[in-house]
């Protein structure tokens, strides 16, 4: 269901690291490119892969952090890019509005960097500030789009693939982020970390409209399509990072800390560039990856079935909403369309298979568990995670036994294995956590299944799994839960990096012993 509660319960303060980086040379003048001369060869070398150890040997830099007290009013400073994802060396336009006389922009790559979690890669000179307010509103879809002038063009030559935060600082001292991903041009042999930016945009309320609410705050006045042509703003992420902090940051830092062979993509590449995933050892979905088009889903299915690519869903509520992509004035695939109701979708009479309700519902039901293994159940919940299958290889070295529990690790949304026609087999239920959600009793379940290609698929089944990899969620659980998740995730991703996990770790059905209900819905025993 993916209500805002999931963000409310997950959001936590962010901590940074230490050190100082060296910015690439660039020109910040309006309309000019940040050239970073002489780095094109390095960019080409980095495009196909990342030397994680070498990258994280660079000096970290804590200055990527933003002081919440420095945010100021929403229009004090804010911005967006014309491209959500770029290839190394590809330029992008940065659109900035500020009430101050000038501003600077500084790009930081987020990784481990000795615990600093970021390093500085580029910085602009002071640039004239302009307060930009031009925007459009499409009343048919309640879509808000900015119509701003670009403040500068930035060349990413020499930028290593990864997730970046561009920190905007006005001359008045106000600060905000603009997120950007530099994507890998090859993922062969890699563990691909996928940023779920469609879900980030679904919750974006800039201009008063998201896929959850309209200007009056109500669901009935929600937008039916949301545009990337605007800054990010969320009640729980006012810094402008989208949903990077609660659902991506911990995974990025964790993977690079352990020198996993990572590559980086967004879910936009699942739509537009499925070939980029050829040869990937694993594709890893972040902590909240809810909104999928048919093409995005096909890319994952083909990777699993045709190439033996392992899949990991490190959250819950994945692949729940069916979307389509549309265009904006800045280009194609900049609009996320989701009516959430078959009856009001304009394609209802002409192409019912591509209408945008939940994937599990008519007119062409394709439940998400065909890929994830589990079904999304309910929100919100705050419950203990209870181990069911302690001998599974994913839990090796954690010291758990059947019934070991970790208070607060389940929430605020969760999944469960429900034995229906689309449930993959063989499938192992790894946890069986009793809970009550919206007045009904149910269970949270993590799962692991394998398919004929040899691919293994893991679903954590709780949104707090990803944030447990870092220092977030401390209000919900302690160090024991965090160590359990970190050990299990390292086991999982290390094995997934070796190739089709089902060849060495075939799943064995245990759902009968688990008492999984035969049916859909809340799964009440």
d(CA 94, CA 91): 10
Residues 405/391, Cβ–Cβ less than 8 Å = no
Per-residue tens of pLDDT for the chain, all 525 residues: 443 333 333 333 333 333 333 333 333 333 332 333 333 333 333 445 689 999 999 999 999 999 999 999 999 999 999 999 999 999 999 999 999 999 999 999 999 999 999 999 999 999 999 999 999 999 999 999 999 999 999 999 999 999 999 999 999 999 999 999 999 999 999 999 999 999 999 999 999 999 999 999 999 999 999 999 999 998 889 999 999 999 999 999 999 999 999 999 999 999 999 999 999 999 999 999 999 999 999 999 999 999 999 999 999 999 999 999 999 999 999 999 999 999 999 999 999 999 999 999 999 999 999 999 999 999 999 999 999 999 999 999 999 999 999 999 999 999 999 989 999 999 999 999 999 999 989 999 999 999 999 999 999 999 999 999 998 888 899 999 999 999 999 999 999 999 999 999 999 999 887 777 776 655 544
* Whole-angstrom distance, CA of residue 319 vs CA of residue 343: 21
Q: What is the pLDDT of residue 318?
A: 98
181 - beta bridge partners? 85, 163
Show the tokens assigned to 58.
């660079």
Q: Which two tokens stand for residue 114?
A: 């000795």
pLDDT for residue 471? 84
Helix (H, G, I), strand (E, B) or coil at 249: helix
The span from the CA of 272 to the CA of 296, in Å, is 8
Residues 256, 187, 465: CA angle, nearest 5 degrees: 45
Residue pair 476/298 in contact by the 8 Å Cβ criterion:
no
Rounded to 5°, angle at Cα 91 from 87 and 95:
120
Q: State the Cα–Cα distance between residues 27 and 290, nearest whole angstrom.
A: 38
User: Residue-wise over 86-116: b if at least 16 C-beta within 10 A, else e?
Assistant: bbbbbebbbbbbbebeebebbbbbbbbbbeb
pLDDT of residue 520: 66
pLDDT recorded at residue 291? 98
Residues 6+ apart with CB under 8 A from 199: 2, 243, 247, 288, 289, 290, 291
For residue 106, the cross-strand partners are 123, 167
Identify the pLDDT of residue 521.
58
DSSP-assigned letter for residue 517? -
**Using CA atoms, how far apart are residues 489 and 13, in angstroms rounded to an integer?**
23
Between CA 99 and CA 357 the distance in angstroms is 40
- What pLDDT is recorded for position 81? 98
The distance from CA 192 to its chain's CA centroid, rounded to whole angstroms, is 12
Give the whole-angstrom CA distance, residue 38 versus residue 61: 24
* 3-state helix vs strand vs coil in the chain, percent to 5: 20, 25, 50
> Cβ distance 465 to 319 under 8 Å?
no
């Amino acid at each position: 269901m993916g209500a805002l509660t999931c963000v409310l319960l997950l959001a936590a303060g962010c901590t940074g690291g230490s050190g100082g980086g060296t910015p690439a040379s660039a020109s910040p003048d309006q309309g000019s490119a940040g050239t970073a001369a002489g780095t094109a060869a390095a960019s080409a070398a980095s495009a196909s892969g990342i030397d994680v150890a070498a990258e994280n040997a660079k000096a970290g830099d804590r200055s990527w952090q933003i002081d919440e007290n420095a945010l100021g009013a929403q229009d004090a400073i804010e911005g967006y890019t014309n491209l959500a994802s770029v290839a190394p060396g590809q330029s992008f336009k940065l659109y900035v509005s500020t009430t101050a006389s000038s501003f600077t922009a500084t790009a930081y790559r987020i990784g481990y960097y000795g615990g600093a979690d970021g390093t500085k890669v580029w910085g602009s000179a002071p640039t004239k500030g302009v307060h930009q307010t031009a925007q459009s509103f499409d009343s048919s879809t309640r879509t808000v789009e900015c119509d701003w002038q670009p403040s500068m063009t930035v060349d990413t030559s020499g930028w290593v693939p990864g997730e970046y935060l561009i920190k905007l600082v006005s001359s008045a001292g106000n600060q905000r982020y603009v997120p950007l991903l530099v994507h890998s041009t090859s993922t062969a042999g890699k563990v691909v970390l996928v940023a779920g930016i469609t879900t980030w945009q679904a919750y974006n309320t800039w201009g008063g409209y998201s896929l959850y609410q309209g200007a009056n705050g109500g669901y009935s006045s929600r937008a039916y399509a949301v545009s990337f042509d605007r800054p990010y703003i969320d009640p729980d992420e006012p810094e402008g990072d989208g949903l990077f902090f609660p659902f991506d940051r911990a995974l990025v830092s964790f993977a690079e800390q352990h020198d996993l062979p990572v590559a980086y993509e967004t879910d936009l590449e699942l739509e537009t560039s499925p070939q980029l995933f050829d040869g990937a050892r694993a594709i890893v979905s972040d902590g909240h990856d809810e909104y999928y088009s048919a093409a995005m889903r096909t890319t994952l299915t083909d990777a699993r079935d045709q190439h033996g690519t392992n899949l990991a869903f490190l959250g819950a509520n994945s692949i729940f909403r069916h979307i389509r992509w549309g265009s904006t004035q800045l280009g194609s695939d900049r609009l996320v369309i989701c009516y959430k109701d078959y009856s009001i979708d304009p394609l209802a009479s002409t192409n019912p298979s591509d209408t945008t309700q939940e994937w599990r519902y008519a007119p062409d039901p394709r439940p998400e568990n065909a890929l994830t293994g589990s079904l999304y159940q309910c929100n919100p919940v705050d419950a203990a995670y209870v181990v069911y299958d302690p001998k599974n290889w994913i839990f090796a070295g954690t010291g758990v036994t059947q019934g070991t529990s970790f208070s607060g690790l389940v929430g605020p949304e969760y999944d469960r294995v429900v034995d229906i026609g689309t449930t993959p087999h063989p499938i192992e239920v790894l946890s069986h956590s009793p809970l009550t959600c919206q007045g009904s009793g149910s269970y949270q379940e993590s799962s692991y299944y394998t398919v004929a290609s040899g691919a293994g698929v893991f679903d954590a089944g709780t949104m707090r799994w990803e944030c447990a990899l870092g220092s977030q969620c401390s209000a919900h659980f302690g160090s024991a839960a965090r160590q359990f998740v970190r050990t299990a995730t390292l086991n999982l991703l290390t094995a997934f990096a070796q190739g089709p996990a089902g060849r060495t770790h075939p799943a064995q059905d245990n759902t009968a012993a688990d008492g999984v209900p035969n049916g859909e819905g809340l799964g009440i025993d």
